[in-house]
C-alpha cells in the first residue's frame, strides 16, 4: 500500500526518521507532508519547499517564484526524512546558517544544468547502442 511519501515499504531507519520528523514538525506541516509529500516552511528570507525525495526549492516570499534549489549534504548516509529534519531545524533556528551550509543552485544554473545532463545521457545512450550493434 502506498503512503503519502510515494513509498510502498520503508526500512526501520526510514520509519524511525518519519517518527522523529512527526515529533519535530507542527501538526499543519506534518499534515502537508502526509498529503502533498512536502513541508512548506516560510523563513525570514524566502519560502522553502522541503521534500524527503528531492532537492529543496527556494521560492521568493513576495511572489512565490522559484529562485533556486538547495541540497544539504549530510556527512553520513541517512534516510531522506533525516535530511528533511536537519534542513527544517536549521531553517527554523538559523536561516543564515542554512545559506552558508547548503549547496544553493540558482534557477539559472539549474536551467542550464538540466539540458546538459540530458545531452550527456543521450550521448551515453547512443554510445551504448553503437557498442551493442557492433557486438552483433
Tens of pLDDT along 54-63? 889 999 999 9
| Cβ atoms of 92 and 85 closer than 8 Å | no
Using the structure block, give the residue that is written with the C-alpha cell 543564515. Answer: 96
Q: Residue 112: inside a domain, yes or no?
A: no
Q: Residue 123: inside a domain, yes or no?
A: no
Average pLDDT, whole number, for the chain? Answer: 83
Q: Residue 85: inside a domain, yes or no?
A: yes
pLDDT band at 89 (very low <50, low <70, confident <90, very high): very high
Report d(CA 29, CA 130) in Å as an integer: 50
Alpha-carbon distance values, 90 to 49, 69, 120 (Å): 14, 16, 35
Tens of pLDDT along 15-24? 787 888 889 8
β-sheet with 66-71: strand ranges across: 39-42, 46-50, 56-60, 66-71, 103-106
pLDDT band at 121 (very low <50, low <70, confident <90, very high): confident
pLDDT of residue 8: 47
Q: Residue 129: inside a domain, yes or no?
A: no
pLDDT band at 2 (very low <50, low <70, confident <90, very high): very low
Q: Residue 87: inside a domain, yes or no?
A: yes
Q: Residue 120: inside a domain, yes or no?
A: no
Q: Which domain holds residue 28?
A: 12-106
Q: Residue 79: inside a domain, yes or no?
A: yes
Tens of pLDDT along 14-49? 778 788 888 989 999 899 888 898 999 999 999 999
Q: Residue 28: inside a domain, yes or no?
A: yes
Domain count, the chain: 1
pTM: 0.67
Amino acid at each position: 500500500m502506498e503512503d503519502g511519501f510515494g513509498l510502498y515499504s520503508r526500512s526501520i531507519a526510514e520509519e524511525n526518521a518519519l517518527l522523529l520528523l512527526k515529533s519535530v514538525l507542527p501538526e499543519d506541516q506534518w499534515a502537508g507532508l502526509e498529503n502533498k509529500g512536502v513541508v512548506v516552511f516560510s523563513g525570514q528570507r524566502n519560502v522553502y519547499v522541503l521534500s524527503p525525495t528531492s532537492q529543496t526549492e527556494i521560492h521568493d516570499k513576495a511572489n512565490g517564484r522559484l529562485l533556486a534549489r538547495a541540497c544539504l549534504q549530510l556527512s553520513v548516509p541517512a534516510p531522506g526524512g533525516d535530511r528533511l529534519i536537519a534542513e527544517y531545524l536549521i531553517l527554523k533556528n538559523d536561516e543564515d546558517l542554512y545559506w552558508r551550509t547548503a549547496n544553493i543552485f540558482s534557477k539559472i544554473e539549474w536551467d542550464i544544468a538540466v539540458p546538459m545532463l540530458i545531452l550527456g545521457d543521450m550521448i551515453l545512450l547512443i554510445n551504448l547502442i553503437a557498442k551493442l550493434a557492433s557486438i552483433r
